[in-house]
Amino acid sequence: MKKVFSLTIVAVVTAVIVLCLRYQPGRATDNCSTPTECRYDLSKLKKTDTTLLIKAGISYITTTMSNLTAIAVDGINIVIGSRTGVQILDAGGSRVVDFSVAAPVNCLAVAPGGDILVGLNDHIEVYGQDGTKKAEWSKPDLKTDFTSIAVSSNFVYAADCVNRIIWRFTLSGELLGRIGEKDNGRRKNGFVVPSAFFDVAVAADGSLWVANPGEHRLEHFTADGKFLACWGKAALEADGFCGCCNPSNIAIAPDGSFVTSEKHIVRVKSYDATGAFNGIICGQEEWEKEAVGLDLAVDSKGRILVLDPQADVVRVYARK
């Protein structure tokens, strides 16, 4: 659901001062508050606390594409996007079909009927499972840059890192409106999106979860865009999100739990349905330095799929 975007994060590689959001532990409705300045030793992030690791087997799925940019799942089948096209794989990683697109794929989602929604920079295209192009939706704004797509049984949601909002469409592409504007309450800053990592996911009940990377939290909305709650905090400790703008990617598992990834100093982590920290799936030691573009998906079996653009593979973590 994201395009790869290279950005030097000064706060991660050179600074020892980061902005933190001081939240108290608890349920999602209790976890939002205001920023305060904190000081940390960033070198601690480079070594994962093994007591926090979740036991999981790992396997790798290779594709015939390079420059991978996005991943989505359709039950068990896996859909991979790149700078040149889209490839559909079965659960074991065998190729089913692939097709080309006219521009780099920023993000992907699979509609209820099986159509594949492909997010390019400024518009969405719709393809059948055989790779046939079925529709091209109108641009919602002249300066749109899509970074993520999520689909419910009724709506399509697209995250726009330029306008810093979520666009809501019907399943046929009719634009319904915007979600996530600034307000005078707990969202006075709106979505803070310093780079091209801005992710959206749909829960089983049709509600919406959005990563607000500059605020270091996940935000919960109704299907039509009413703000409900949020959880998350900025911290170098494993239960928080580090750097200028994380989490970079999110996914929701079938049991309602969350998977998150962080860029540059890499951590893929699990949180329960209330936002309580479960543990670390993998840490910096398993990745190239400052790895970015770690798009996420969780299939119907609960396997965690992590895109690895540096190696052009998909890492598959099966929790034991």
Is residue 261 scored above 70 in pLDDT?
yes
Query: Would the pTM of this model clear 0.85, i.e. be above it?
Result: yes
pLDDT band at 11 (very low <50, low <70, confident <90, very high): very low
291 CB-near residues (< 8 Å, 6+ apart): 263, 264, 266, 308, 309, 310
Residue 206 exposure: Cα atoms within 13 Å on the Cβ side: 10
Tell me the per-residue pLDDT of 63-117, one tens digit each, with 9 for 90 and over.
999 999 999 998 779 999 999 999 999 988 999 999 999 999 999 999 999 999 9
Is residue 316 scored above 90 in pLDDT?
yes
What pLDDT, on the 0 to 100 scale, is given for residue 35? 42
Is residue 166 scored above 60 in pLDDT?
yes
Q: What percentage of the chain has pLDDT greater than the value 90?
A: 78
Cα(122)–Cα(156) distance, integer angstroms: 15
DSSP 201: E
DSSP 115: P
Contact (Cβ atoms closer than 8 angstroms) between residue 71 and residue 298: no
Tell me the per-residue pLDDT of 244-255, one tens digit each, with 9 for 90 and over.
999 999 999 999
3-state helix, strand, coil in the chain (%, to 5): 5, 45, 50
What pLDDT, on the 0 to 100 scale, is given for residue 16? 30
Higher pLDDT, 233 or 34: 233
